[in-house]
Amino acid sequence: MAGPLPQLAPARLLYSSCSLEKTLQCSCSFHGIPTPSVQWWMGGTPVGVNNTDGSLQVTSTIIAPWANSTISLTEQPRMSTRLLCKGKNKNGTHALSILLLPRERSSPGKTFINGLIQGLVYGAIATALLFLCFTPLIMKYIRVKLSKKVAAVKATNNPKVRASQEAKMPLKPQEPGKSTISPSSEKQILHPLP
């Protein structure tokens, strides 16, 4: 006795993706019973299965009831090129249309301006980080200077300290290495000896 016959199912697109790195790669996955066939169309022209030419590569894999296909484009597409991924079996057809727009090429002037702006932003971030790192050291230096000034002002205003400083200070400063001669108030008379 044979098991039940599988139900027929039209081709359905269950997954699709496109990515752009060095090449543009688009993938489509179809499901259906019987297993669908996948066909890529570019700009209204069909692309052969497992086709490999210089700018275009198509790879398809079929694992019943799944059909997976990937197309890779190494060259920039023409303006507004349509890429169509079509899956079909005898019960139906399902398709995905993708509009390809060429990437904008940046001019040297635009690249320079973008690099300059990026450099300014990174420079501002680096300066801000350095400022934040050195702020505690700067604040400590300022606090030490201010505390020395405050201590000096307090010392000069303190009467005990002022009195002891005045007692230590000479009335008339002397220059080092010179002697001072002060006249005496007494008169001396010198007599020659007999």
Q: Rounded distance, CA 98 to CA 40, Å? A: 11
Does domain 8-98 sit in CATH 3.30.470.20?
no
Per-domain boundaries in the chain? 8-98, 104-150
Tell me which residue has tokens 């300014």. Answer: 120
Helices (H), 158-171: 159-168
Count of all residues that appear for the chain in the document = 194
Closest CA to 51 of 185, 42, 100: 42
Q: What is the mean pLDDT of residues 8-21?
A: 85
Across the strands, what pairs with 13?
30
pLDDT-derived band at 124 (thresholds 50, 70, 90) equals: very high
Distance CA 168, CA 149 (A): 22
| Amino acid identity at 11 | A
149-183 pLDDT per residue, tens: 888 888 777 777 666 666 666 555 555 555 555 55
pLDDT in tens, 35-44: 898 888 888 8
